[in-house]
Amino acid sequence: MIGAFSKSLAQLADPALRRLLILSLALAVGCFAALLAGLFLALPWLLAFLPQSAPAWFADIAGILSGAGAVLLAIVLFPGCVVAIQSAFLADPVCAAVERRHYPGLPPPRASGIGEQVVLALRQIGTTLGLNLLVLPLYFVPVVNVVAFAAVNGWLLARETFLAVALRRLDRAAAARLWRAGRARYWAAGAILALLMGIPVLNLAGALLGAAVMTHLVEAARRGA
């Protein structure tokens, strides 16, 4: 796994990946803005549940706390959502760049349609929202919040990035077998990626790094390494 990360980080300087990095940054900024806007649009609906008899100062404090909560929730939901969106557009070209450099003898990959990519992205976003909201109370407990965030989002990033990479060369049955055989390794890689996505700037290129790392891990698994 260390080799997969080191080779992937080194290849971020590849001209092919540098061009994709610009698109990755644009998608990441757009995703965060959309998340934040959606959560703030939901605030009036949430504040409508306040008792009519509540004093004005209470409503003001509730509004401020809700706004802060919306920002925090956007940050929590960002890794899974942005990787889902970025992967729909970037997984194939990133995998192709990694394969050209490190695995030049591979045959052409299985073509995946835009519909399949969109379905994967929507499923990832839905699962990300659902699981993170389910464990949201844990995010307010010190130390536990870091472990919970890495575990939940690590699994989400690992599973969906694995599928985006593996389905390029395997059918679903073979991909499922490969996932079961190495899920702990993929999950650990996903947890590292989730924590890295908490680092400003680096988190904007999460999908590029994730797809590159997972390409190395999947190829190693396919070759029995």
pLDDT digits (tens, 9 = 90+) for 138-157: 877 888 888 988 898 889 88
- Rounded Cα distance between 50 and 61, Å, is 12
The whole-number pLDDT of residue 109 equals: 82
The whole-number pLDDT of residue 156 equals: 85
Is a pLDDT exceeding 80 seen at residue 190?
yes
- As a whole-number percent, the residues of the chain with pLDDT over 90 amount to 10
Helices (H), the chain: 2-11, 15-47, 56-102, 114-134, 144-166, 172-196, 206-222
Q: What is the largest CA-CA distance in the chain?
A: 72
79 vs 135, more confident:
135
Mean pLDDT: which of 2-6, 10-14, 213-217 is highest?
A: 213-217
The whole-number pLDDT of residue 4 equals: 85
| Overall number of domains in the chain | 1
Give the pLDDT mean for 201-212.
76
Give the pLDDT mean for 106-112.
77
The whole-number pLDDT of residue 42 equals: 65
Residue 211 structural domain: 2-222
Burial group, residue 139, by CB count within 10 angstroms (0-12, 13-18, 19+):
middle
Grade residue 57 by pLDDT with cuts at 50, 70 and 90: very low
